Chain A
Amino acid sequence: MSQALTNATAAPAASRRERSLDDQRRRAAFWFLAPMLLMLFCVAAWPLLRSIYFSFTDTTLTDLYGGKWVGFDNYLSYRQLSSGKVIWRGTLVDPTWWNAVWNTVRFALISVSLETVFGLIVALVLNAQFVGRGFVRAAILIPWAIPTIVSAKMWGWMLNDQFGIINDMLLKLGLISEKIAWTANLDTAMAAVILVDVWKTTPFMALLCLAGLQMIPRDIYEAAKVDGIHPVKVFFRVTLPLVRPALMVAVIFRILDALRMFDLVYVLTPNSSATKTMSILSRENLIEFNKFAYGSAQSTLLFAIIAIFVAAYIWLGKVDLSGEKNQ
């Protein structure tokens, strides 16, 4: 290092050489970035633009290139009958779409709130010193490591109405009087989906919270203890404000993930109107019902919702996702 410095200052043409070095580095940086950017353009930007384009046409699955431009018809259009009655059509007046929006938002809000609370509790437990801490930390990684499809099947079996262990437990404990068809029943299907999602993703939340907790200096707690402040007060006045930045990032990631929920619902509660999310409905139209353009319109709307959400969040400056500020 010191030799590098003397070399650089000793040479009379140092600044010129430095500039050409910088240029060289910048040129190299461009070529290093190009393959990645090209790849992302091919798999992300281009397909996204094509999907948006499809949503303004009447393309069908069987004839991908035969679609005509139809403007906003897939979103909203109206026709006046000879009797003077106006008929509205399109996704925006489709009750199944609004049902899916409501399901998705409800799912995202409830499951992410529960995950945050449970994640914090687990993180607080793991942050304490106790025998077998390493073992518990390893164990909570298991739900996270299990593929979503596998956990959906596993829980589907445990929640089975006739032979499921959950019904058996609840019956034995006297909490329910008869067996419940958790996944088939419209009133309980959403609860089942939320249960499995919370089980699967709380570890992720807990690990992120734990990393935040471990950055809090221990002497703060010792000072609070010396001053005789109640632990609950310490939690709300010290711990929570200090883990908040880490927690907010985790919450954002989880909300975005929950808003695009597909696989768990597809396997755990197939064809249940109580849990059908925007992604499920959109794919159903795209691939299964041969309403390719209509499904594209729905996927575009979901994209718009998420884009607005992310933009609002970044704009409000609540989170510094890039980690550049403390550089």
Chain B
Amino acid sequence: MTAMDVLKKTGFYALVGVILLVSIFPFYYAIITSLKTGTGLFEVNYLPKSFDLSNYITVLSQQTFPRNILNSVFIATTTVVLALFLAVTAAYALARVPFRGRGLLLMTILAVSMFPQIAVLAGLFELVRFIGIFNTPWAMILSYTIFTLPFTVWVLTTFMRDLPVEIEEAAIVDGATPWVIISKVFLPLLWPALVTTGLLAFIGAWNEFLFALTFTSSETTRTVPVAIALLSGASQYETPWGAIMAASVLVTVPLIVLVLIFQRKIVAGLTAGGVKG
């Protein structure tokens, strides 16, 4: 190895180190902040100094925050189930049945997912008020389909397109109806894709902010992101950083665990629509 090679190698690993540090440090800092209380919060420490769970106890013993977590879980789960149910059948039609205008329809669905959500806010606000679901979880479940549904349809269509035609032909020859083909032939093969899209849609619904902020008006109906954004201290001028960080860590750790477990599938799902072109 020449000196040049050593230099190159050191430079490369230094770059890897920087990438690692930048990715992990902010969340690490949030964790050590959440374990500090009182005046300890206001001194900068690079290494964990205290281990005090009182911020977590404060957040969880509050009336509203556990409720907010339940709201988010209910909303995100229902949104995902609804989107997957509607998307599986639609994706079969889009991937397997040739009909006129299919390409245009796919493009329209993709266009909906690129919509600026603010463009439908006024109309959705009216709709939500009109049906009488303002300030209930159903307002979010309804409005979140605007981004979860196009996304799930899109990814499931690309997955289904890649399944071998022979399986379906054999089923058709055996006289299976389209519904049987979907439920008995495709669904078992689609499980990995369903897990991936479901997880991505869940993350999207869990993190959504604009609709959740606009369609809720009381503390108990808020979702987690809104609750964290609007978490306030005893007085207007005092931001409860310790409690905010504790709440943030609480709602982020499950997500990170899920993402790390399913990382390969998630990467496949993210790139499914993108790299094919």
A contacts, CB < 8 Å to B: 1, 3-4, 7-8, 21, 24-26, 28-30, 32-33, 35-37, 39-40, 42-44, 46-51, 54, 64, 121-122, 125, 128, 130, 132, 136-155, 157-158, 160, 162-165, 168, 199, 203-204, 207-208, 211-212, 215, 245-246, 249-250, 253, 256, 259-260, 262-263, 266-267, 278-279, 282-283, 286-287, 292, 295-296, 299-300, 302-303, 306, 310, 314, 319-327
Contact = CB atoms under 8 A, between A and B. Distances in A.
A157 B112 contact: no
Interface of B: 12-13, 15-16, 19-20, 22-24, 26-27, 29-30, 33, 41-44, 46, 86-87, 89-90, 92-94, 97, 99, 103, 105-107, 109-112, 114-127, 129, 142-143, 145-146, 149-150, 153, 158, 161, 166, 169-170, 172-173, 177-179, 182, 203, 206-207, 209-210, 213-214, 224-226, 228-229, 241, 244-245, 248, 251-252, 255-256, 258-260, 263, 266-267, 270-271, 273-277
Contacts of B109: 40
B252 A147 contact: yes
B150 A40 contact: yes
Contacts of B123: 46-51, 54
B145 to A, nearest CB: 5
Given A1-B166, A145-B256, A303-B119, A139 B24 contact: yes
A300 B115 CA distance: 11
Given A26-B99, A141-B263, A199-B26, 7 more contacts: A35-B89, A147-B252, A149-B228, A163-B43, A208-B271, A245-B277, A246-B275
A87 to B, nearest CB: 27
B245 A130 contact: no
A287 to B, nearest CB: 6
10 contacts: A4-B173, A44-B146, A125-B19, A136-B20, A153-B245, A154-B30, A157-B33, A253-B274, A260-B118, A306-B119
Nearest to A282: B118
Contacts of B43: 163
A24 B170 contact: no
Contacts of A64: 126, 129
A142 B22 CA distance: 10
Given A32-B90, A40-B149, A46-B127, A300 B274 contact: no
A44 B116 contact: no
Given A147-B255, A158-B29, A25 B97 contact: yes
Contacts of B149: 36, 39-40, 43
A302 B173 contact: no
A145 B259 contact: yes
Contacts of B23: 139-140, 142-143, 203
A322 B207 contact: no
B202 to A, nearest CB: 12
Contacts, number: 301
B55 to A, nearest CB: 13
A279 B44 CA distance: 35
A299 B122 contact: yes
A122 B248 contact: no
Contacts of A136: 16, 19-20
Given A39-B145, A158-B26, A322-B106, A249 B275 contact: yes
Contact of B107 (A142, A322, A326): A322
Contacts of A292: 122
Contacts of B266: 141
A263 B209 contact: yes
B251 A147 contact: yes
A36 B86 contact: yes
Nearest to A293: B122
A283 B211 CA distance: 11
A162 B42 CA distance: 8
A136 B241 CA distance: 29
Nearest to B173: A4
A295 B119 CA distance: 10
A324 B119 contact: no
A211 B86 contact: no
Contact of A153 (B122, B142, B158, B248): B248
A154 B275 contact: no
Given A147-B251, A154-B26, A256 B126 contact: no
7 closest residue pairs by CB, A with B: A47-B123, A50-B123, A323-B276, A29-B93, A303-B119, A260-B116, A28-B178
Contacts of A33: 89-90, 93-94, 105
Nearest to A200: B26
Contacts of A158: 26, 29
A78 B75 CA distance: 46
Given A35-B86, A279-B210, A150 B259 contact: no
B277 A325 contact: yes
A211 B203 CA distance: 21
Nearest to B90: A36
B169 A1 contact: yes
A21 B178 CA distance: 10
B86 A39 contact: yes
B178 A24 contact: yes
B16 A132 contact: yes
A44 B115 contact: yes
A93 B143 CA distance: 32
B260 A141 contact: yes
A149 B225 contact: yes
A310 B114 contact: yes
B94 to A, nearest CB: 7
